[in-house]
């Protein structure tokens, strides 16, 4: 492997594309040049910053520091999962359910991968653990927020149907089964699309990165396959955990529907 090192000049040449776009926006008064430049500046700063942070974390090699960084990432994911929902669970449950599903599923998949397929030494080596955590969190974030969205909106929309089943003597699980299944399906559609398109329509990011860094195409394909499996596993886990936790909260021990525990986010 001989990755081609990028010099500041290389990046500067690349950035001319951003300036070109901004110039076009200015000439044609599209009005997006400010946002474009701001977003590009943020992206550069954020990525360089994380580069330096990771360089530091890798060199220290402390499992506690690694765990702390992973925790911050999981916290940010939990916030994002809850942030754009139309409806919210009352009290701390909203972030509790989103965060619980996110952390549980990511933890399972990352630990599984590090102790079986990847096996770096030591197994918690930050160079492997953190990028893996990031990738899984990104996928889990989408599947958890999609399943929450579908379940919250569905429960309100289908209230009469769900309550009709409960009134006729069905259990809460029977009454909400269709909705739960539909929410999990909705959450997994992007994941399935991603697998279908992999290699045919898009070269996934991991593989592209490894190819550019000089890795053998078949080896990088294998890496990508493993990561896809992990991603799908994480997304499935996340969607199931989110739906299960929400069902506990939206019903009670007497098998009642508890929409009083769900309210609309301020418009």
| Total residues belonging to the chain | 267
User: Contacts with another protein: how many residues (CB under 8 A)?
Assistant: 21
CB of 80 to another protein, least distance (A): 33
CB of 163 to another protein, least distance (A): 6
- CA pair distance 104, 242, nearest whole angstrom: 10
Q: Is 218 in the site for another protein (CB under 8 A)?
A: no
Which residue in 42, 119, 157, 256 binds another protein (CB under 8 A)? Answer: 256
User: Mask: binding to another protein, 165-194, rule CB under 8 A, as x and -?
Assistant: xxxxxxx------x----------------
| 3-class DSSP assignment, residue 89 | strand
In 3D, which of 227, 228, 223 has the Cα closest to residue 191? Answer: 228
Nearer to another protein, 26 or 161 (CB): 161
HEC letters along 223-245: HHHHHHHHHHHHHHHHHHHHHHH
In 3D, which of 227, 265, 257 has the Cα closest to residue 82? Answer: 265
Q: Is 261 in the site for another protein (CB under 8 A)?
A: no
In 3D, which of 99, 238, 82, 240 has the Cα closest to residue 149? Answer: 82
Stretch that binds another protein, among 34-42, 67-75, 157-165, 214-222 (CB under 8 A): 157-165
Nearer to another protein, 121 or 253 (CB): 253
Which positions touch another protein (CB under 8 A)? 158-171, 178, 252-257
């Amino acid at each position: 492997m001989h990755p081609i090192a990028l010099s500041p000049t290389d990046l500067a040449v690349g950035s001319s594309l951003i300036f070109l776009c901004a110039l076009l926006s200015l000439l044609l008064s599209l009005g997006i040049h400010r946002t474009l430049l701001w977003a590009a500046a943020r992206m550069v700063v954020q990525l360089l910053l994380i580069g330096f942070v990771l360089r530091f974390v890798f060199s220290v090699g402390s499992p506690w520091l690694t765990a702390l960084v992973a925790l911050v990432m999981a916290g940010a994911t939990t916030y994002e999962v809850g942030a754009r929902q139309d409806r919210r669970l009352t009290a701390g449950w909203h972030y509790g359910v989103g965060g619980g599903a996110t952390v549980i599923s990511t933890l399972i998949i990352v630990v599984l991968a590090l102790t079986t397929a990847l096996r770096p030494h030591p197994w918690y080596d930050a160079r492997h653990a953190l990028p893996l955590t990031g990738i899984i969190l990104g996928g889990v974030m989408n599947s958890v927020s999609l399943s929450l969205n579908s379940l919250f909106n569905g429960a309100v929309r289908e209230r009469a149907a769900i309550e009709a089943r409960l009134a006729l003597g069905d259990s809460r699980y029977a009454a909400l089964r269709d909705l739960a299944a539909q929410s999990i399906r909705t959450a997994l559609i992007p994941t399935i699309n991603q697998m279908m398109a992999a290699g045919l329509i898009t070269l996934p990011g991991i593989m592209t990165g490894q190819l550019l860094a000089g890795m053998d195409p078949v080896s990088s394909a294998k890496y990508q396959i493993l990561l896809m499996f992990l991603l799908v596993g994480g997304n499935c886990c996340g969607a199931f955990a989110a739906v299960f936790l929400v069902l506990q909260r939206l019903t009670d021990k007497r098998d009642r529907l508890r929409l009083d525990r769900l309210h609309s986010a301020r418009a």
